[in-house]
A and B are shown apart, each in its own frame.
Chain A
Amino acid sequence: MTTEAANAKLIAGATGDWEVVVGLEIHAQVASRSKLFSGASTVFGGEPNTHVSLVDAAMPGMLPVLNRECVAQAIRTGLALKAKINHRSTFDRKNYFYPDLPQGYQISQYKSPIVGEGEIQVDLSPTYSIKVGIERLHLEQDAGKSLHDQSPTMSFVDLNRSGVALMEIVSKPDMRSADEAKAYVGKLRTILRYVGSCDGDMEKGSLRADINVSVRRPGEPLGTRCEIKNVNSIRFIGQAIEAEARRQIAILEDGGAIDQETRLFDAARGETRSMRSKEEAHDYRYFPDPDLLPLKLDPEWVDALAAYLPELPDAKKARFLADYGLTAYDASVLVADKETADFFEAAINHGDRKRDPKAVANWIMGDLSAHAKIRGAPVADAGVSATQLATLVDLIGEGAISGKIAKDVLSLLLGDEKDADPRAVVEQRGLRQVTDADAIDAAVDAVIAANSEKAEQAKIKPGMVGWFVGQVMKATGGKANPQAVSAALKRKLGV
C-alpha cells in the first residue's frame, strides 16, 4: 500500500490525525439441514416453536449429539480461509441465564476451536489490497429469540433458532478503516458462499458481526477498545465503525479516557450507545461440556473435503485475468458472486464458439446488473439465461444487430419474449440490421434531399453529421448499421 493510501485512511481530529483499529467477530449461520446438536430443521421463517426438538428445548435428560454436516462445513470454511484445521477440538459450555437460552448455557468451542489461524486477502481497488489475519473459527449454538412486542405484559420466546449451528470467525485487529472492514466482510461473505457453508443472507440474520473498535495516534500502541454487538448489514458495519471512532476521538481529544465496554449501534440515530460496562460483564464460567467427547478429525476426511473444495474467489480472479484478459476491476466484480462468475463463463463458453470476454463482461456488469438490481435478484437470476446472452453477443458480433437494438432485444427477453431465442426474436420482429449499401444510400439521399439547407451547413460544420446519422437511423427504424450510415453521409456530403 502506498503512503497516500495509508494517510487517506486517517481521521482528522481537532488535535491531529487518528487511526482507527478494527477487529471483527463474524457469526455465520452454517448451511445445514439440521441443527448443531439436534435433528430439528434449520429452515428460516417457520411458525414460532415449530422447529424445536427436545434437545433444543432443554428438556430434562436430553443430550446433544454433534451433527457431522456442520463439522464438515466448518472444516471446508477453514480450508477456504487457508487456516489451520485442528484435528482435535473440544466443546465448552458458556453459562448464563436468558429465556431464549433454554439450557442455561451455550455450547461453544472456547479453549480448542476446530479451526486455528488463517488469512484472507481483501481487495479494495485494483491497486489497494490488505491482508486480514484470521484468529480462529469455532462452532457454537445459536440462541432462540425473545419477542417483547407481542403482549403489553409478557414476553414470548421462539426457539426455532435455538441450537442452529453458527461459525464464529474471529479476525485479528488488522483493519484500519470502515471501508476495510466492509470490504473484509464482503470478501468473507463471498468465500462462505463459494464453499456453500453459509448463505450469507444478512437480512435473515445469517451473517452478523460484533465489531471491536479502538483509536490511536498513528504509530502508537493500541487504544482501549469497545465492542459493538450484533450489527447485521455491511452498510451498518461501516456506519457503526465511523460513529464509534468519532465518539472515541471526541472523548480522547477532550482529555477523557475510553472505558472498555459493550455497545449497541442505533442505525436510526447513527450512533453507538453503552450496553454494559466491563464491570457488568458476565462471568460465563466456561468448562468442557461433559456430554460431548473431544472432536477428533480423521485426516483422510479432511483431505477429501479439501479435494472437493470449489475454486475459490482469489484463484478464480487470477484465472479470469490470465484466461480472459479482463481488467482487475472487471474480474473482481465478476468473481464477487459465484453465480455471476459461473454465468459469465457459461455465456462465454456457450456452444462451440468463444465470445469476446470483455463484451460479455460489459453486458453483465452493465445492462444485466441494472435489470437485476431493479428486480432485487442476482445477475444470474435477472431473467436472461447465459445462452440468451451468448446469442445476443453473437448477433452483435455478426453485425446482425447494433448495440442499441441489442438493448431493445434484451428488454424484450425480460418482458414479452421471456425464454425466447434472441435470434428468433430478431428475425420475427424484423430487427436485423440493414447493411445493404444501396438501401443505406437511398435512405441517406432521402434525408439529404429533405434537409438541403442543413446539408449545406454540414459541409462547413462537419460536426452536424451526427444529426444526419440520427435522422437516417430514425428513418430506418434503427436497423441501419450506424457505421455504414456515417460513412455514406460523409461521402455524400464531402466531409
Chain B
Amino acid sequence: MTDLTSLTLAEARDRLKSRAVTSVELTRAHLGAIERAKSLNAYVAVTPEKALQMARASDDRLMRGEAGRLEGLPIGVKDLYATEGVHTQACSHILDGFKPTYESTVTANLWRDGAVMLGKLNMDEFAMGSSNETSYYGPVASPWLPSNWSHEKARAALAGDKRGLLSPGGSSGGSSAAVAARLCLAATASDTGGSIRQPAAFTGTVGVKPTYGRCSRWGMVAFASSLDQAGPLARTVRDAAIVLGSMAGPDPKDSTCWPEPVPDYEAAVGRSVRRLRIGVPKEYRLDGMNPEIEALWSRGAEWLRDAGADIVDVSLPNTKHALPAYYIVAPAEASSNLARYDGVRYGLREPSADITDLYEKTRASGFGAEVRRRLMIGTYVLSAGYYDAYYLRAQKIRTLIKRDFERVFADGVDAILTPATPSAAFGIGEKGSDDPVEMYLNDIFTVTVNMAGLPGLVAPAGLSNEGLPLGLQLIGRPFDEETLFSLGEAIEQAAGPMTLPDPWWA
C-alpha cells in the first residue's frame, strides 16, 4: 500500500468514501509523519487528541453516509487563524499563551465540512516576511535541499541553526513546508503580498490567493486588512480547488466579505481552456531577470497555447509602482491593526512601572525586528504632514494598478500569466539581513494582485537548473477563480507530476 501521507487530498477523499481507509488511519499516518519531521519546524503546535477525536467523528459520519466535502481529511492550519482553545499566536511572542475562545470563520467552514485539524503551522511573525525567518518560533526548513547537499549534511544543519538549508518561503512557510513534506493533505495559508503564492513556488506546491472578499477574514489575525486574504496550499490544483471551496463563502461578521455563494471550483478543474485569452504583461519582464525564470514563463505560455488558449501581449504600465506602494499601505494598516497588542488584556505583559512603560516594554520585547520595522514605517507614513505624500499617494497608485487590470480584462483577456517569483528558493540566513528591501523584492510579481484585490494562483511548472521547483502565476478577473483552476490544471498537466523530496529529515 502507498504511504497514506503521499495521497493527494482528492485520492484520500475517494479512499475514505470507498472505505478503503479510515480517517483515523489517515490521521495517525500524518501525526506520525509530523512527529518524525519535528526538526523541520513546520508545526508550532500539534493537536493529536483533537485530530483523532475529529477523525473518529468523521469515520462515524462516513459510516452513516453523512460525509461532508472534506470528511476525515487531515489538514494543517496556519497559526494566524483563531482556533478555539488551541495555540493562536501568529507566531509572535506578544501573543504568548493566547488561546482564543472562538474559531475563525474559515477554519469553522473546514470543520463544518468534516476536515480534521492536525495542528498549527509556523509562519513569519504576523505574516510579515517572505522566508518564515521572522517567526518567534524560528525558521522552517524546506523539504527541498540545495543541490549537492547530502542528507547527512542536511540533517546536521537541521539539528543546528538551519543556515544554508532552503527557505520554504513566507509568510506561509510552515504551510508550504508541511504540504510539500506530506505532513498534511493541504493547509490553510494567507496572502497579503504573496504569502501563499511565493511559498507555493518555492516548494513545488499549489497556492491560491482568492479574490479579496471571497474568504471571511473573521478570526484571522489581521496584518493589512485591505490586502489580507485566506487561501489554501495543496499538492495539486484539484486539491486546492476542493479546499478553497470549503474555506470560502459569505460571512455577515466580515463587512468586506463577498455575499454571493461559492461556485463548484472542483468542477472547473479539467475544464477546457480552449479560446481563453491569456495576457502576458510586458512590464513583468524585468531588467536583469533570471533567464531560467524567463524561459519558464515562455514555456508556460507555450503550454497554454498548446492547450488551445490564445496568448496575447498586454500592458500593465503601473506595475513598477506596486511594490513601493504596497510597502506603504501594508505597514500603515499594520501599524493600526497591531496597536491592540498592548499587554493590557491578553498575551505578553512585561513588568512595568506605569502604563507608558508597560506599552514600551511589552511591545519592544513582544514584537520581532521586522514587525517593529514595519510598525515604525506604518506609523511614519500616516503621521500628520506625511500622510498625503505617502499613504494618499500609495492609495492613488493602487487605484491606477486596479485600472490597469480592469482595462486588460475589459479588452477580453480572461487571465494573465506571470512568473511567481524572481528566483527559486534561497537559503535560510541568505537574504535581507543587511537590506530588508532585498527580501521585499520577493513579492515583486505577487503584490500587484493584492493591491488590485484579484485572484491569483501559483502552480509548479518545473525545476531550476539546481533542481529546485519553480512556479508560474495566473491572475484572474474578480471572483473568477474557476478560470484559474482550469488554467492551473492545464499547466500542471503540461509540466508533469512534481516529484517531492523523499523524507531525508525523518
Name the prevailing secondary structure of the A interface residues: loop
A454 vs B336: C-alpha distance in the bound complex, in angstroms?
A: 92
Contact present for A292 and B255 (CB under 8 Å)? yes
Is A283 a contact partner of B336 (Cβ separation < 8 A)? no
Kindly report which residue of chain B lies nearest to residue A281, judged by CB atoms.
B384
Task: Give chain B residues whose Cβ lies under 8 Å from the Cβ of A64.
Answer: 255
Closest to B218 in A: A63
One of A60, A102, A290 near B82 (C-beta < 8 A): A60
* Set of chain A residues within 8 Å of B82, measured between Cβ atoms: 60-61
Interface centre among A54, A57, A99, A290 (most CB of B within 10 A): A290
Name the B residues within 8 Å of A62 (CB-CB). Answer: 218-219
Select which of A61, A157, A285, A292 is within 8 A of B344 by beta carbon. Answer: A157
On whether A95 and B219 interact (CB within 8 A), knowing A60-B100, A105-B336, A291-B255, the answer reads: no
Contacts of B335 in A (CB 8 A): 95, 285
Can you list, as one digit per residue, whether each of A77-105 has a CB less than 8 Å from chain B (1) or not (0)?
00000000000000001010101001111
Q: Is the CB of B339 within 8 A of A290?
A: no
Q: Determine whether the beta carbon of B336 is less than 8 Å from that of A61.
A: no
Contact of B387 with A by CB under 8 A: yes
Q: Is the CB of B345 within 8 A of A102?
A: yes
Which chain B positions have C-beta within 8 A of A59? Answer: 100, 102, 346
Question: Does A155 touch B at the CB level, under 8 Å?
Answer: yes
A293 at the A/B interface (Cβ < 8 Å)?
Answer: yes
Residues of B near A66 (CB, < 8 A) are 255
The answer to whether A63 and B253 touch across the interface, beta carbons within 8 angstroms, is yes
Closest chain B CB from A246 CB (angstroms): 33
Contact with B along A49-63 (1 / 0, CB 8 A): 000001001111111
**Number of chain A interface residues as a range:** 20 to 34
Please measure, in the bound complex, the distance between the C-alpha atom of A285 and the C-alpha atom of B382, giving whole angstroms: 5
Name the segment of B199-207, B220-228, B494-502 touching the other chain.
B220-228
Whole-angstrom CA separation of A95 from B381 in the bound complex? 13
A65 CB → nearest B CB, Å: 6
Q: Does A329 contact B (CB under 8 A)?
A: no
Complex: A71 Cα to B9 Cα, angstroms: 47
Q: How far is B328's CA from A287's CA once the two chains are assembled, in angstroms?
A: 13
Q: Which residues of B contact A97 (CB under 8 A)?
A: 339, 342, 359
B383 interface residue per 8 A CB criterion: yes
In the complex, which of the residues A60, A63, A95 contacts B382, with contact meaning CB atoms closer than 8 Å?
A95
- Please report the number of residue pairs spanning A and B whose Cβ atoms sit closer than 8 angstroms: 95
* Smallest CB gap from A285: residue in B: B382
Contact of B88 with A by CB under 8 A: yes
B218 contact from A61, A103, A292, A293, Cβ within 8 A: A61
Q: Which residues of B contact A293 (CB under 8 A)?
A: 255-256
Interfacial chain A residues near B370, Cβ < 8 Å: none
Question: Are B102 and A54 interface neighbours, CB within 8 A?
Answer: yes
> Shortest CB–CB separation between residue A413 and chain B, in angstroms?
53
A93 to B345, CA, bound (A): 21
Asked if B87 is at the interface of the complex by the 8 Å CB criterion, the answer is no
Q: Which residues of A contact B345 (CB under 8 A)?
A: 57-58, 102
Q: How far is the CA of A66 from the CA of B252 in the complex (A)?
A: 11
Chain B residues 325-370 with CB under 8 Å of chain A are 332-333, 335-336, 338-340, 342, 344-346, 355, 359
CB distance from B252 to the nearest CB of A (A): 7
Whether B90 is near chain A, meaning CB under 8 Å from some CB there, is yes
Cβ of B302 within 8 Å of any chain A Cβ, yes or no, is no
User: Nearest chain-A residue to B355 (Cβ)?
Assistant: A99
CA distance A144 to B220 in the complex (A): 24
Complex Cα gap A61–B219 (Å)? 4
Q: Which residues of the partner chain A approach B336 to less than 8 Å between Cβ atoms?
A: 93, 95, 104-105, 285, 287
CB of B391 closer than 8 Å to a CB of A: yes
Q: A247–B300 Cα gap in the complex (Å)?
A: 77
The answer to whether A104 and B340 have CB atoms under 8 Å apart is yes
Q: Which residues of B, 237-254, contact A by the 8 Å Cβ criterion?
A: 252-254
Closest residue of chain B to A282 (Cβ to Cβ) is B384
Interface assignment of B55: CB less than 8 Å from any CB of chain A: no
Residues from chain A with a CB closer than 8 A to the CB of B359 are: 97
| Cβ contacts under 8 Å, A155 to chain B | 355
Q: Is the CB of B333 within 8 A of A290?
A: yes
Question: Does B6 reach chain A (CB closer than 8 Å)?
Answer: no
Shortest CB–CB separation between residue A494 and chain B, in angstroms?
90
Residue among B255, B338, B383 with the highest chain A CB neighbour number at 10 A: B255
CA–CA, A65 to B253, complex, Å? Answer: 6
Give bound CA distance, A284 to B98, whole Å: 29
Whether, in the assembled complex, B28 has its beta carbon less than 8 Å from a beta carbon of chain A, the answer is no
Q: Is the CB of B218 within 8 A of A60?
A: no
Chain A residue at minimal CB-CB distance from B358: A99
Cβ of B154 within 8 Å of any chain A Cβ, yes or no, is no
**Chain B residue nearest to A66 in the complex (CB):** B255
Residues from chain A with a CB closer than 8 A to the CB of B383 are 283, 285
Q: Which of B98, B102, B221, B384 contacts A283 (CB 8 A)?
A: B384
A-B contact pairs, 6 of them (CB 8 A): A61-B218, A63-B218, A65-B255, A104-B339, A287-B333, A287-B382
> Footprint of B on A, CB under 8 Å?
54, 57-66, 93, 95, 97, 99, 102-105, 155, 157, 283, 285-287, 290-293
Would you list the 9 A-B pairs with minimal beta carbon distance, nearest first?
A: A104-B339, A290-B226, A285-B382, A290-B225, A58-B340, A61-B219, A60-B221, A61-B82, A283-B384
